[in-house]
């Protein structure tokens, strides 16, 4: 829970908060999302493109 408290304190702190710090925080969050949701996203897009391929193959045959 210390990470949550530190994050809340960081977001409420106004001294020295710059766009760079918010950018770094956004990069960390985006990286975590990619690591956590990566396999699910890969499966989703694989299925999506397989279905599109099937539709296009059937349309032109």
Note the pLDDT tens digit of each residue in 42-61: 999 999 999 999 999 998 87
At 8 the three-state DSSP class reads helix
Q: Which two tokens stand for residue 41?
A: 């996203």
Instruction: State the pLDDT at residue 15.
Output: 63
- CA 61 to CA 42: how far, in whole Å? 28
Instruction: State the Cα torsion 15-20-21-23 to the nearest 10°.
Output: 140
What is the CB neighbour count within 10 angstroms for residue 46?
A: 10
Note the pTM of the prediction, 2 decimals: 0.46
């Amino acid at each position: 829970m210390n990470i949550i408290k530190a994050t809340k304190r960081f977001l409420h702190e106004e001294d020295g908060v710059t766009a760079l710090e918010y950018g770094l925080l956004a990069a960390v969050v985006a990286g975590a999302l990619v690591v956590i949701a990566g396999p699910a996203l890969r499966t989703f897009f694989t299925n999506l493109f397989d279905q599109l391929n099937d539709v296009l193959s059937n349309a032109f045959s």
